[in-house]
Structure 1
Amino acid sequence: MNSRNFILIILCVLALSGCSTTFIYNNLPWLADYWVDDYVDLDKQQSKQLKAEVEKLRRWHRSHALPQYRQLLIEIKTGISKPLDAQHLLEWRETSQMYWQDVVRQANDPILELAVSLSAQQKQEFVENVSKKISRQFREFEELSEQEVVEVRIEQMLSSYKNWLGKLSDKQVSLIKEAALATASTKDHRFEYKQRRLDALRNVFTQTVLDEFEFRAELTEIIVNTEQYKSDQFIALSAIDKHTHAALQARILATLSAKQQRHLIKELNKWIDDIDTIIEDGD
């Protein structure tokens, strides 16, 4: 589990610093084109096609996915007012991941449409740029000692909890540090997973014997069925990680002061209000 998240509610792509959630959401077609440009140069027709496909995805997400996230946030807001165990928090996480998989499956067709339109040169450019990014990230992590990795993890977790709860008590800080120290490092497994997916993508992009149906089918496997590229050890460590952090969340929730409770409710209400605004903007 990503330790930066206190209550894991994935709202698709709404996390650019300095920009409001509603601004990002309402400009997704343009932002998607801007992001893709970091990996491959699209011609005008492809860029137009990408924006149209992202706009269709956004309309679906606004009408279908956001109401689900809103309901889950309301359920969480109601639930945190009473004692919660780790299992309940895990169930919320599983629900949010299920909603995320819906988004991934819905996004599959737009990605396929763009991929089909790419030339051999564009496919090579895309793979090379993704490979460079993975290698750069790996080098940056390799420069950190295990102690530095733990320190970064602690800092990120403390920052996340402070964002959700405000000032933390000494006991809460101690609990967070304890959980951070108990979290196994999965950086090598994570990069291995990324490399396996990239290798699979490179293989699909370079095969000249695939017809369009086979190309779409194999690319869908890479996009949707991501677990197949994770090692058994990575999957096992991730499962332990989920339970470790769910237990931490339950312990932290049990120690909330009245002020922290109000702060958490306020933060959840901000997300709910943003979702309401986004949904209303689509009417």
Structure 2
Amino acid sequence: MFNRCCFSFLKTLVLVACLTLLAACSASRLAYNNLDWLINWKVSDYISLTGDQKRWLRARTQEQLAWHCSVELPRYLPLLDHLETSLRDEQLDSSMLSQGLPRIETAVDRLLTEIAPTVSGLLRQLDARQVEELKANLQKKHAELVEKYVEPDLTTQHRERVDRAQERLEDWLGPLDKQQYARLSDWADQLQGHSSIWLDNRLAWQNAFLTAVENRGKPEFDQQITELLIEREQFWIDRYGRIADINQEQGARLLADLMNLASDKQKQHLTKRFSTLRADMEALQCTKA
């Protein structure tokens, strides 16, 4: 619930936006059905596509949304059931949550593997002007993230980190009580300084990505893009690699502690939230992939 996607351009382009269904509002069916429009619209934040490129991307996006809806979404239902059961355990341990992460990571990798050819296919079509535009917009986005997450003083960073996490948590649990808020604040304290490392890691990946794009005419380009998407850890900087597992464990402990402190009303809110999401997913009418 707290992860920030490191690769904004590719998050949009490669349909990771599909996974935001798991954090959408009660109108998630409507949101999902309009993802093809959203994805094509958001790509324009980074590249001004030609008419032919827009039509090509729109067609590929519709094909892959059909695949995702008909093939992948049914596989998410058991994941939701497992997560809900784990969260509602009478005495939840962080290891119960951590054990489910490989299943989620596998689902994400299936998605990225499926859409990697679309990513490389679109990038191959870019001319020199579009590549320069992409570079400039990625640099602009990086500067905005530095301004938002690194430049504020530590007190402000802490408060904003708590506020972001609280908003996401309360979507699932309803209002947090004082004890839960204090635990959330402790979690945020443990992450002091991590925004800078996260952004350094993001920039390292971004530079590797742009280097690959510069050589988009080479035969190995498709494989390079696939590796950038699937073998992400090989592009991590050392500092980020050292804290990634720690951050994951801290997040699991936080969720376990918050759920163990949850009131009956909060658990009822969680059950209703899962039920709504499950119903929306089951009601989707999928085009055959």
Give the structure-2-normalised TM-score: 0.86
Structure 2 match to 1:214 = 220
For residues 191-245 of structure 1, give each alpha carbon's deviation from its aligned partner in whole angstroms, at most 9, with x where no partner exists: 212222222222223238x53x222222222232221222222122121111112
For residue 270 of structure 2, the aligned residue among 259, 264, 269 is: 264
What are the residue-to-residue correspondences of 1:219-258 with 2, within 5 Å?
219-258=225-264
The offset of 1:17, in angstroms, is: 7.9
The answer as to whether partners of 1:154 and 1:177 remain within 8 angstroms in 2 is: yes
The DSSP-based 3-state class of the residue aligned with 1:41 is coil
What are the residue-to-residue correspondences of 1:105-184 with 2, within 5 Å?
105-184=113-192
Structure 1 residues 119, 13: closer, same or farther in 2, change over 3 A? Answer: farther
The offset of 1:158, in angstroms, is: 2.2
Residue identity opposite 2:127 in structure 1: S
Distance 1:18 1:94 in 2: 25
Distance 1:141 1:163 in 2: 23
- 1:46 paired with 2:49, answer no
The answer as to whether partners of 1:50 and 1:114 remain within 8 angstroms in 2 is: yes
What are the residue-to-residue correspondences of 1:77-92 with 2, within 5 Å?
77-82=84-89, 83-92=91-100
The answer as to whether partners of 2:70 and 2:286 remain within 8 angstroms in 1 is: no
The DSSP-based 3-state class of the residue aligned with 1:42 is coil
The answer as to whether partners of 1:29 and 1:50 remain within 8 angstroms in 2 is: no
What RMSD in Å do the two structures reach over aligned CA positions? Answer: 2.4
Distance 1:137 1:176 in 2: 23
For residue 36 of structure 1, the aligned residue among 7, 30, 43 is: 43
Distance 2:190 2:166 in 1: 15
Moved more, 40-49 or 192-201: 192-201
For residues 91-129 of structure 1, give each alpha carbon's deviation from its aligned partner in whole angstroms, at most 9, with x where no partner exists: 223322221121111110111111121122222221221
Distance 1:67 1:110 in 2: 23
For residues 128-175 of structure 1, give each alpha carbon's deviation from its aligned partner in whole angstroms, at most 9, with x where no partner exists: 211211122213334301111111112222222222111322222222
Distance 1:232 1:2 in 2: 22
Residue identity opposite 1:234 in structure 2: Y
Distance 1:16 1:40 in 2: 27
Structure 2 match to 1:200 = 208
Distance 1:68 1:75 in 2: 12
For residue 25 of structure 1, the aligned residue among 27, 32, 35 is: 32
The answer as to whether partners of 1:3 and 1:157 remain within 8 angstroms in 2 is: no
Structure 2 match to 1:7 = none
The offset of 1:18, in angstroms, is: 8.2
Structure 1 residues 78, 205: closer, same or farther in 2, change over 3 A? Answer: closer
Unmatched tracts of structure 1, length 5 or more: 5-9
The DSSP-based 3-state class of the residue aligned with 1:12 is helix
Moved more, 19-28 or 246-255: 19-28
For residue 102 of structure 1, the aligned residue among 94, 107, 110 is: 110
Aligned residue-pair number: 275
The answer as to whether partners of 2:150 and 2:157 remain within 8 angstroms in 1 is: no
The answer as to whether partners of 1:127 and 1:198 remain within 8 angstroms in 2 is: no
Structure 2 match to 1:62 = 69
Unmatched tracts of structure 2, length 5 or more: 5-16
Distance 2:118 2:55 in 1: 12
Structure 2 match to 1:276 = 282
The offset of 1:11, in angstroms, is: 5.0
Residue identity opposite 1:59 in structure 2: A
Give the structure-1-normalised TM-score: 0.87
Percent identity between the aligned chains?
23
Structure 1 residues 18, 62: closer, same or farther in 2, change over 3 A? Answer: closer
The DSSP-based 3-state class of the residue aligned with 1:256 is coil
